[in-house]
Amino acid sequence: MEENQGQPTLVNHAVKWGLIAAGVSIVLTILCYVIDYTLMVQLKFALLSLAIFIGIVIYAGIDYRNSQGGFLSYGKAFQHGFLIMAVSGLVGTLFGMLLYNVIDAELPQKLVDASLDNTREMLEKFGVPDDKMDEALEKAKADTASRFTIFGQIKGYLILLIIVAVISLITSLFTRKNQPVEV
């Protein structure tokens, strides 16, 4: 992976775009925190963030492909996308640790409560009986609270690596372009 004639290496390019994606993610998180922290646990926010993130990865992949002469193998596209998301996820995890443990140590409990409210509303819409609802909410409370601990965030990052591998398999389909084979 050496640099050729001013072309960025796969790692340099991916790390740069991983940091850009992390910056966008952090800005979105701060905006939600300042506007209304309950947005941070809403499905709509998660889906919007995912769409923006995938858009950044595809754009960065195409940018890298163009910097390499317009062609990029599927394997290199996968590596590039995975590295972008791994770097972004790592920076985001570190920011989350800072946010939940230093900036606002009360925020995790607020987010657990907001998440439980969302879960309760969903269960009520599905007509879940009260006894089953209480059981489900207790389990959700324990699961949600554990995500905000340092260990929970490290575990979440490791799970995220599996998820981004799958996402990278998909985004690589959009960023790859093989050189034509001459017969």
Q: Where are the domains of the chain?
A: 10-173
Residue 4 has pLDDT above 70, yes or no: no
- Please say whether the beta carbons of 71 and 179 come within 8 A: yes
Average pLDDT of the segment spanning 63-90: 95
* Cα separation, 157 vs 150, whole angstroms: 11
How do residues 5-52 score in pLDDT, each as one tens digit? 567 899 999 999 999 999 999 999 999 999 999 999 888 999 999 999
Q: Which of 37-41, 96-100, 176-180 has the lowest mean pLDDT?
A: 176-180
Task: Supply the pLDDT for residue 30.
Answer: 95
Task: Supply the pLDDT for residue 145.
Answer: 81
Task: Supply the pLDDT for residue 5.
Answer: 59
Residues contacting residue 27 through CB under 8 Å, at least 6 positions apart? none
Task: Supply the pLDDT for residue 128.
Answer: 80
Residue 85 has pLDDT above 70, yes or no: yes
56 versus 6: the higher-pLDDT residue is: 56
Average pLDDT of the segment spanning 92-104: 94
Residue 146's CB: how many other CB atoms inside 10 A?
15
pTM of the model as a whole: 0.86
Q: What's the farthest any 2 CA atoms get from each other in the chain? A: 69
Task: Supply the pLDDT for residue 51.
Answer: 95
Residue 75 has pLDDT above 70, yes or no: yes
Q: Computed from CA positions of residues 98, 99, 104, 105, in that sequence, does the dihedral angle turn out positive or negative?
A: negative
Residue type, 127: G
- Whose tokens are 């940091």? That residue is 19
How do residues 110-159 score in pLDDT, each as one tens digit? 998 998 888 888 888 888 887 888 888 888 888 888 888 889 999 999 99
* CA angle centred on 137, ends 136 and 138, rounded to 5°: 95
105 burial type by CB count under 10 A (0-12 exposed, 13-18 middle, 19+ buried): exposed
- Please say whether the beta carbons of 26 and 40 come within 8 A: no
**What is the helix (H) or strand (E) element at residue 131, kind and residue range?**
helix 130-146
